[in-house]
Amino acid sequence: MRITFFGVRGSCPCSSQEQRKYGGNTSCILVEVDGERPLILDLGTGLRALGHYLNSSLLTAGRPLRADALLTHLHYDHVLGLPFFPPMRDPGALLEIHGPAQDGRSLHEAMAAMVQPPFFPVHMADFRGELRFHDLHGADEFALGRTKVTARAVPHVGTTLGFRITADDASVVYLPDHQAPLDRSTVDEAVLSLCEGADLLLHDAQYTEEEYLEFSDWGHSTPGYAVHVAYESGIRRLVLFHHDPGHSDKELDRMLRASRRLAGGRGTLEVEAAVEGATVELGER
């Protein structure tokens, strides 16, 4: 299993000389399993570059895209890339999106309402490629080829899912938006069930401890809480994700160093910070 980061920020994209190291696009990850369709985690602004990456091999092979996407929730930073996804210009392309059902309407209806004038020049139905939507309800398990997906509702602002993806005896848990509790010591049972014994955890680490005190009900976590979730779940490898758009490379470096010191005092836990363009390999160690 290969996991490549195309967008690692939360809230909104950003760009400055002080943010070049980690990157400025919002949540979007590609999961590749040999012999299986590409699996995309969230549709943030990183989806544009991910689409160009996929198109480079598709055009050479002369075939259209066939891919799946797992959508955690419908906040802008997780969906804004969809209208700019290059493979959707191909009449033969197919993207199947699995995401949270919405109160009173389907996922398809909710997404179509965001991709239409006056918010975007054309309707989503005008894309040349085909989009298929699959509503999830917060306690779902299904297979995409030989890849197993488990979805659970997790604490955040609005209906939000976390995912566990398992293939070839390797598992990764994706929790980009996770509301830490005020005590930052308890862990939601659904989160624990997703994380238990996974090889890799990609976890919300948007706020410093000081920022969390100000934004404690905005739906996010601290690096320290991400370390705690990993420790409580028996996970040995953690990637800090959903970086705040206001954090510079130097600030993220400091947060990473502090997280590693904390992890070093709580047993064996590798801690990294997500970097746009980086790839993590699982199942080959």
Distance, in Å, from the CA atom of 36 to the CA atom of 193, rounded to the nearest integer, reads 26
pLDDT digits (tens, 9 = 90+) for 85-105: 999 999 999 999 999 999 889
CATH class for the region spanning 2-281: alpha beta
CB atoms under 10 Å from CB of 125, counted, come to 9
Distance, in Å, from the CA atom of 233 to the CA atom of 230, rounded to the nearest integer, reads 5
In this prediction the pTM is 0.96
Q: Is the pLDDT of residue 285 over 50?
A: no
pLDDT digits (tens, 9 = 90+) for 114-123: 999 999 999 9
Q: Tell me whether strands 200-204 and 237-241 are parallel, antiparallel or unpaired.
A: parallel
Please give the average per-residue pLDDT across 161-172, as a whole number.
96
Q: Where are the domains of the chain?
A: 2-281
| Helix count and strand count (H, E) for the chain | 7, 14
Q: Tell me whether strands 161-167 and 147-153 are parallel, antiparallel or unpaired.
A: antiparallel
